[in-house]
Structure 1
């Protein structure tokens, strides 16, 4: 019996899946199945949204409820939290880690908005800190929510809107709301599972989630608002639970309008302004930066969507402050410099990709959908690009299933007027896309110099060694097993071992017109992939003086 030595492999990035429609807005039995599906896909973590305006008391009122300690989880109505509590319990039961966004939107009484829904203007940092403390206490592993008493409270405007977009239909007036019906069947309340990963807000550089983004004279406004939120909430949460990991940022990939506009602030500009530095990373002490102290956090979260372009696409010129997946090295350099100068905490250097995906349906004539075979290849290539940045610690898949259009218009967005997203691994009815296969066992073939190709793979097949083969087809000829070695060289091998939860890298000679596929022993052959990346340009050879004179005479 032949023995195959292990390849050069490494632990894969933490894998995060978010799908609020399936995890927070469906019947409990469906949520349980979705969590089992996530586990079967080999992911590590589910990301859930703790929507403040859905969970807080009197969220649609302009006056904050008096006489209540809103940093105490027992002060909140249990029924409002049932969906989130269920999702945390069900994910934990599947052995999944839970990460919670503490965020959007805010209760009306915690903002400068005069009416809702979607209150988000000038969020009060102290109110936000109270909610953050209540959340980390609730999921400390020791808090048992009191049983609901009486009829469930009416859902807030924002919760009703989310139900319309994400698929649940609110019950008729006078009928007990679904969360009440989905209460735990346990005879007595048991402590909720412990959650240790949180993120402060979601996309604070985007006008849909935090306002204002800009001042009338064209300066940024959202960085100062968000900085105040972080400076209040982070130490408050750490004060009651030092064991938590609290990310900041969670930035959107792209910027928009300036000079008094209402579009998003580009993520690198947002980062610089949150850290109170100028374009050259020199400290600022003017305006809202007076009295600045180091920005705390345990990592920077980001959403490097590539706008349906290849993962190696980068931004320059007027979009140089945007950060697609190909721009993550620039974000890493900026974070490193800010940490070195003491503008941000050392831990904030870590980058956590908490959303990413490709849309397989068009979002308008200027952004066609990505074909399924390319989608399957590009999500693996994107992870490969991110993993090359040493400070990137996590990778994400946004949506388990596509989010279909809502029954009525819910946004002024030209691309998503009905709240639709097409980034799922499955279609909206649960039909598999090709990306399911590559998500579990994916391969990327990259040019390596002028003569080589690096074959990088990512496995999410569970613990234990797997025997792997790589096959090659040249110009449509039959597939043949390829001998490969580690990128550093060594003995050529027709097979190799890699752990079922790791990434691996192999090297081979570049052949023009070749396609590759990964074969895991005992499984069907993987999807064919083309070689990506470009070969370095050949250096022009210097001619000797004698050869130059001879060439001149011939001419």
Structure 2
């Protein structure tokens, strides 16, 4: 992820051309920082509902994000929300699809500027669904169905041209393996189906990447952003494609990594990007859970994800720009709660404990550069007793703005673990802007007792060796860099690893 910086002036075309030729000649790259920089993982938030005003004035809530240690905000530039006459089968007369003036960017500008005024950077997801007229089959009146790669590329050109002085990081399309965002997922004849969405996405990603790169040669561009699981068997046109199946099909190889050269893979060109984006949601399972389905990959399966990506990269079926292996942006991760969701939710306490476990899991992975909490506020009333409410209920706060334990945990996560030989406690002060002292405490018979004062690293993170114990609990306190108040983390036991 990149740091907030002053608006960049785009160089003249001749200068850009010379720069690109120089980079090509020298082997240098305009890509992201190497994957080895993962210990400086960026803390991000993804909640378009807040930015869209679903919970009232977004300004004070966005200020809360910064005060809690958020550094980056992932938000959507959704084609159908910006394009004119999005329900029509034809674009307006005289429409110029790659011109900035052809679209209404006022709402997007408001969001980007609000985030930047609060000292945070933006990761912009340039995504569908698009307007109906952007479909290759507009007569269906389905704006998710077979979006035109050419028209999407024109949209991406207009977006990047408009925001290049304020945005450095991009993702091309959101969850292309999910029918909510891209259709069809499969092509079916009777009961026989074959995967289709990765091949459509390959064309969309190519057009999106080329368009953004042309307007902003220094941009960091991610592909993927798939969900963590999908349908094991292909039985319907619009299911969800398993993410690792999606990656292999995107790269035009079969389950045994043999190249495909016919059909949808005729004329194959390796998809290129700086970063692989991914959504490792673990649903009702802990971050340590390993999915028994080889085509899925949750938080506990990040090694499985990178193994597939690396094998495809080594074979030349995926093209990493500026690195030998894909860094990871985990631009959505969260646990839903019960209440209100009795089907997918976990308890408030478990949400807090498992989220911190997941944040530590991502932090220790050497290739994770960004981790985004998915939602700050639940999408509907968090006190609702309905069995399966619509939307996501993964916020730090209920829709009624009642704080969950996760709200206390977010600015200062803590996680402890033990093995047969040792034990450690990890923690982070996300608001830290340099090294600070934290006071680690251990629960005793009559309350909390001082255990050790620890100096964090420059990112506010520390790891401390502690005695192995199945019953010990730890927490830490510190003086907040935001306002000077004394803050206290939640407590952690030492989980067995």
Q: Same fold (TM over 0.5)?
A: yes
Question: What secondary structure sits across from 1:354 in the alignment?
Answer: strand
Alpha-carbon shift at residue 420 of structure 1 (Å) = 2.8
Match of 1:509 in 2: 467
Match of 2:8 in 1: none
Answering whether residue 332 of structure 2 is matched by residue 332 of structure 1, we say no
Q: Is the 1:253–1:323 contact (alpha carbons within 8 Å) kept by the matching residues of 2?
A: yes
Q: Is the 2:229–2:296 contact (alpha carbons within 8 Å) kept by the matching residues of 1?
A: yes
Question: What secondary structure sits across from 2:57 in the alignment?
Answer: helix
CA deviations over 1:282-319 (Å, ceiling 9, x no partner): 32212111221221111111111111211111111xx2
Q: Is the 1:250–1:302 contact (alpha carbons within 8 Å) kept by the matching residues of 2?
A: yes
Q: Tell me the distance in 2 between the aligned counterparts of 1:10 and 1:467.
A: 23
| TM value normalised by structure 2 | 0.84
Q: Tell me the distance in 1 between the aligned counterparts of 2:256 and 2:311.
A: 11
- Which residue among 358, 366, 375 is the counterpart of 2:335? 358
Q: Is the 1:113–1:120 contact (alpha carbons within 8 Å) kept by the matching residues of 2?
A: no
Answering whether residue 77 of structure 2 is matched by residue 50 of structure 1, we say yes
Alpha-carbon shift at residue 373 of structure 1 (Å) = 2.4
Match of 2:433 in 1: 463
Answering whether residue 163 of structure 2 is matched by residue 139 of structure 1, we say yes
Question: What secondary structure sits across from 1:225 in the alignment?
Answer: helix
Match of 1:529 in 2: 492
Match of 2:482 in 1: none
Question: What secondary structure sits across from 2:143 in the alignment?
Answer: coil
5 Å matches for 1:418-433?
419-433=390-404
Q: Is the 1:247–1:297 contact (alpha carbons within 8 Å) kept by the matching residues of 2?
A: yes
Match of 1:519 in 2: 477
Alpha-carbon shift at residue 236 of structure 1 (Å) = 2.3
Q: Summarize the Cα distance change of 1:258–1:296 in structure 2 as closer, same or farther, 3 Å threshold.
A: same
Q: Is the 1:199–1:246 contact (alpha carbons within 8 Å) kept by the matching residues of 2?
A: yes
Alpha-carbon shift at residue 398 of structure 1 (Å) = 0.7
Match of 1:282 in 2: 258
Match of 2:362 in 1: 386
- Which residue among 168, 179, 183 is the counterpart of 1:207? 179
Q: Is the 2:134–2:151 contact (alpha carbons within 8 Å) kept by the matching residues of 1?
A: yes
Q: Summarize the Cα distance change of 1:388–1:499 in structure 2 as closer, same or farther, 3 Å threshold.
A: closer
Match of 2:45 in 1: 17
- Which residue among 273, 279, 283 is the counterpart of 1:303? 279
5 Å matches for 1:429-444?
429-444=400-415
Q: Tell me the distance in 1 between the aligned counterparts of 2:39 and 2:289.
A: 26
Match of 1:454 in 2: 424
Answering whether residue 91 of structure 2 is matched by residue 64 of structure 1, we say yes
Question: What secondary structure sits across from 1:233 in the alignment?
Answer: helix
Alpha-carbon shift at residue 206 of structure 1 (Å) = 0.4
| TM value normalised by structure 1 | 0.76
Answering whether residue 181 of structure 2 is matched by residue 218 of structure 1, we say no
Q: Tell me the distance in 2 between the aligned counterparts of 1:525 and 1:397.
A: 20
Alpha-carbon shift at residue 500 of structure 1 (Å) = 6.7
CA deviations over 1:245-296 (Å, ceiling 9, x no partner): 1111110111026334121001000011001112122322121112212211
CA deviations over 1:43-64 (Å, ceiling 9, x no partner): 1111111121111112111113
Q: Is the 2:432–2:460 contact (alpha carbons within 8 Å) kept by the matching residues of 1?
A: no
- Which residue among 449, 473, 478 is the counterpart of 1:480? 449
Match of 1:315 in 2: 291
Match of 1:82 in 2: 106
5 Å matches for 1:101-250?
101-111=125-135, 112-116=137-141, 119-141=143-165, 194-216=166-188, 217-250=192-225
Q: Summarize the Cα distance change of 1:301–1:196 in structure 2 as closer, same or farther, 3 Å threshold.
A: same
CA deviations over 1:63-102 (Å, ceiling 9, x no partner): 13342221111222xxx43221111111111111011111
Structure 2 spans left out of the alignment, 5+ residues: 1-36, 480-484
Q: Is the 2:232–2:242 contact (alpha carbons within 8 Å) kept by the matching residues of 1?
A: no
Match of 1:254 in 2: 229
Q: Tell me the distance in 1 between the aligned counterparts of 2:397 and 2:343.
A: 24
Question: What secondary structure sits across from 1:463 in the alignment?
Answer: coil
Q: Tell me the distance in 1 between the aligned counterparts of 2:409 and 2:40.
A: 14
Q: Is the 1:51–1:105 contact (alpha carbons within 8 Å) kept by the matching residues of 2?
A: yes
Q: Is the 2:433–2:460 contact (alpha carbons within 8 Å) kept by the matching residues of 1?
A: no
Q: Tell me the distance in 1 between the aligned counterparts of 2:63 and 2:314.
A: 42
Alpha-carbon shift at residue 461 of structure 1 (Å) = 1.9
Q: Tell me the distance in 1 between the aligned counterparts of 2:57 and 2:39.
A: 31
Q: Tell me the distance in 2 between the aligned counterparts of 1:115 and 1:502.
A: 53
Structure 1 spans left out of the alignment, 5+ residues: 1-8, 142-193, 407-413, 483-493, 535-555
Alpha-carbon shift at residue 402 of structure 1 (Å) = 1.0
Q: Tell me the distance in 2 between the aligned counterparts of 1:425 and 1:479.
A: 26
Q: Tell me the distance in 1 between the aligned counterparts of 2:175 and 2:211.
A: 21
Alpha-carbon shift at residue 210 of structure 1 (Å) = 0.6
Q: Is the 2:278–2:328 contact (alpha carbons within 8 Å) kept by the matching residues of 1?
A: yes
